Amino acid sequence: MQRTLFSKEGAAEPANRVDIWRPREFPAIELHRGERVTQDYPRHWHDEIYLCATLSGASYLESYGTTLAVPPGSLVAVPAGEVHANRKVDCSFRCIFQGQQALQDAFENYTEQAAPMLEFRSGLVGSGGTTAGFLRLHRKLDGQHSELDQDEGVFAFIRQLVVNEGSTKISIRCQGSEGLAVERTKRFLEEHFAQPVRLRDLARLTGISPFRLNRSFCRKIGMPPHAYQLQVRLARAKQLLRRGSSAAEVASATGFFDQSHFTHSFKRSEGMTPQQYMSCCKKLQDGKTHTQYFEAHR
């Protein structure tokens, strides 16, 4: 993941700052994250579809001679090629530039059905669910998440955007028996838990579309494939910790990015760090009592 940072020199707070990056696995997506930006963007247009969620401050979109105020918590969309202007005042935001053809290709590959030329309306996105999905995806592409987790996030949001916000209405076909595909996916994730896995690889393995596989897996197992893979990794990690392996060794052996990522994931799941878990296991082996305290969530 490459990132370019623009910021005011010597600013005490991260004001008027925009982070820009492209996820390595999704080169047709460019992400921006702005912190308290005050800036006028004169009339221009993009080759890509532009989606921007305002988190705080004031944001205004001018298109076809009309100025639209974009309140915090709202998502705005501008189709590729449409001339528009933006004004931001002490505005924090997250935005995505998505190539039009890449979006269409991703939708068709994910759902395994042809779609007419996808078109979108300019202005506020009407669905709160789409806005929430956008923010989840943006944060997912901004942190340490597995390839499988990012795949699910990107394709699920693209489908949500096309179905809920596209000008062309598309019905999604969901049919056929998928139980065998789910069991095969589950077994594959258990046997290859430490390896990076892509959703398209699982779809190719099972012979059904990524959309059908992801939907069926969630319905039958109770969580998406990436979450199941994480649980398998954590279960194997606990086995290794009980055998005396260090946190660094366990992180490497179970497919985490690094020890920090492993510790964060382990604590979030178990309520304790790997070191605390090893101490607990040692006390239990010695016949002692272990008392666990959970941090208060604010």
pLDDT in tens, 59-73: 999 988 889 999 999
**C-alpha span between 200 and 286 (Å, rounded):** 47
Residue 202 vs residue 169, higher pLDDT: 202
Do 24 and 129 belong together in one domain?
A: yes
Q: pTM score, two decimals?
A: 0.64
Do 105 and 234 belong together in one domain?
A: no
Mean pLDDT over the full length of the chain:
83
Do 146 and 232 belong together in one domain?
A: no
Q: How many domains does the chain have?
A: 3
Of residues 60, 197, 186, the one with CA closest to residue 124? 60
Q: How far is CA 250 from CA 191, 241, 243, 245, in A?
A: 17, 7, 11, 6
Running DSSP on this structure, what letter comes out for residue 147? H
Residue 64 lies in a domain: yes
Residue 172 lies in a domain: no
Do 17 and 52 belong together in one domain?
A: yes
Do 71 and 142 belong together in one domain?
A: yes
The pLDDT assigned to 280 comes to: 80
Q: Indicate left, alpha or beta for 294 from its phi (over 0: left) and psi (-120 to 50: alpha).
A: beta
pLDDT digits (tens, 9 = 90+) for 244-288: 999 999 999 999 989 999 999 998 888 789 998 888 877 766 656
Residues comprising the chain, all counted: 298
Cβ contact 141:32 at 8 Å = no
Listed residues 139, 165, 191: the one ending a domain: 165
Do 206 and 249 belong together in one domain?
A: no
Residue 295 lies in a domain: no
* pLDDT above 90: percentage of residues in the chain: 35
The pLDDT assigned to 127 comes to: 72
pLDDT digits (tens, 9 = 90+) for 118-150: 777 788 887 778 999 999 999 989 877 888 888
Do 15 and 155 belong together in one domain?
A: yes
Q: How confident is the model at residue 169 (pLDDT cuts 50, 70, 90)?
A: low
Residue 173 lies in a domain: no
Do 6 and 136 belong together in one domain?
A: yes
Residue 170 vs residue 231, higher pLDDT: 231
- At 13, the amino acid letter reads E
Do 22 and 114 belong together in one domain?
A: yes
The pLDDT assigned to 295 comes to: 63
Residue 260 vs residue 102, higher pLDDT: 260
**C-alpha span between 256 and 252 (Å, rounded):** 6
**Cα 155–Cα 134–Cα 127 angle in degrees, nearest 5:** 105
Using CA of residue 145, residue 146, residue 150, residue 156, what is the dihedral sign? negative
CB atoms within 10 A of CB 3: 11
The pLDDT assigned to 294 comes to: 52
Which residues sit opposite 60 in a β-bridge? 69, 87
Range of the domain at 150: 2-165
The pLDDT assigned to 242 comes to: 87
Structure-token match 């001018």, residue found:
62
Residue 296 lies in a domain: no
Cβ contact 136:89 at 8 Å = no
Do 81 and 187 belong together in one domain?
A: no
Do 12 and 160 belong together in one domain?
A: yes
Q: Is the pLDDT of residue 8 over 50?
A: no
Helices and strands in the chain: count of H runs, count of E runs: 10, 8
Cβ contact 20:32 at 8 Å = yes
**C-alpha span between 207 and 224 (Å, rounded):** 18
Residue 24 lies in a domain: yes
Residue 293 lies in a domain: no
Cβ contact 83:116 at 8 Å = no
Residue 90 lies in a domain: yes
Q: Is the pLDDT of residue 171 over 70?
A: no
Residue 121 vs residue 225, higher pLDDT: 225
pLDDT digits (tens, 9 = 90+) for 175-184: 555 788 898 8
3-state helix, strand, coil in the chain (%, to 5): 40, 25, 35
Structural element, H or E, at residue 60 = strand 49-63
The pLDDT assigned to 284 comes to: 61
- Domain with residue 56: its CATH number is 2.60.120.10
**C-alpha span between 235 and 83 (Å, rounded):** 52
Do 206 and 238 belong together in one domain?
A: no
Which residues sit opposite 54 in a β-bridge? 74, 93
Exposure letters 267-294 (e unless 16+ CB within 10 A, then b): eeebebebebbbebbeeeeeeeeeeeee
- Domain with residue 245: its CATH number is 1.10.10.60
The pLDDT assigned to 176 comes to: 52
